[in-house]
Amino acid sequence: MDGERPSRGETMRPLRVLVATTIVVATATAAAPVGASPAALPDTDYAALGDSAAAGPLVLPMDLDQPGCHRSEVNYPSLAAMSLGVRSLHDVTCDGADFDDVHRPKSTDFGDVPPQIEAITADTDLVTLHFGANDIGLVGAAMDCINLLPQPFGDSCKAEQTAGGVDRLKAKIDATAPELVATLDAIRSRAPQARIFVVGYATYLPSNGCYPLVPVWKVDANYIRSTLDSLNAMLRTTAVANDAGYIDLATPSVGHDMCKAPGVRWVEPLIPGSIAAPLHPNNIGMVGFAQAVVATVQ
């Protein structure tokens, strides 16, 4: 990853480049740095849109341009941009964002941030789009799955979400597909020549979970896993049907779920073992995700 880091908008930040490069080198023993040659896409203007899975809350150092978005300076858009050698990066990923925040301002603890679509201009050549989990309320549903005591002392989140024979999360996934289509259309209207990639979600839990290390019953762990599979399937199918690419994060993250040991896992459990938000990617995960982005984009 030689050379300067691409700008976020107009301003170069050499000091942050140095810190970011240092962190990537430090994680190399657990996940090899992205393997693209420097300046692979030197004439490319890259815009990264997305939620906290892309923003990387608490993964240091943090980007202070929009502090309410809790965006890391070494999230996967930044690492992929460095490896690809793009001309510029406009990273507007934001903690808690959903498809609505593409089109309207988002309220944060530090004031409103502009609609993410404003990152797209006629000069944009490459776009990654990472949304869906907040639209279906996946984090809240996952928190409802926590049971500190074994069965039958508690309530199953699967039973709650599928009561009456209707899978409420699956229904929300189906309802989110038109929002993805509308977002793809909005991006193309602003940047007709841009290559657009929809990014899926990682593997957060293995089959059957790992109770009590992660206090989610087996039945509920499998339900959350199947819900993520359904969400990723919708994102992939909708992307392909609308002439966009799809970047798979679930496959490369198998074996790196939150049940694994520190230094192996790419996402953190409820009590993180490294500096990252609970149930979110850590710095090693961001390196792995960047590898997947670069491999697909190239």
pLDDT digits (tens, 9 = 90+) for 153-198: 999 999 999 999 999 999 999 999 999 999 999 999 999 999 999 9
- For 244-269, what is each residue's pLDDT tens digit? 999 999 999 999 999 999 999 999 99
Task: Give the model's confidence band at 34: pLDDT under 50 very low, under 70 low, under 90 confident, else very high.
Answer: low
Lookup: tokens for 35: 């393997």
- For 214-237, what is each residue's pLDDT tens digit? 999 999 999 999 999 999 999 999
Reply yes or no on whether 7 is catalytic. Answer: no
Which residue in the list 70, 130, 256, 280 is annotated as catalytic?
A: 280
- Residue 179 backbone class (left: φ over 0; alpha: ψ -120 to 50; beta: rest): alpha
Q: Determine contact, residues 199/130, Cβ cutoff 8 Å.
A: yes
Q: What's the pLDDT score for residue 38?
A: 55
Q: Determine contact, residues 294/34, Cβ cutoff 8 Å.
A: yes
Lookup: tokens for 52: 């906290």
Is the pTM for the entire model greater than 0.85? Answer: yes
pLDDT at 26 over 50: no
Q: Determine contact, residues 94/15, Cβ cutoff 8 Å.
A: no
Residue 114: count of CB within 10 angstroms of its CB: 13
Angle 2-6-7 from CA coordinates, rounded to 5°: 145
Chain-wide mean pLDDT for the chain?
90
Phi, psi of 195 (to 5 degrees): -85, 125
Amino acid at 211: Y
Reply yes or no on whether 52 is catalytic. Answer: yes
Which class would CATH give 7-132+177-201+241-297?
Answer: alpha beta
Which residue in the list 37, 52, 78, 90 is annotated as catalytic?
A: 52
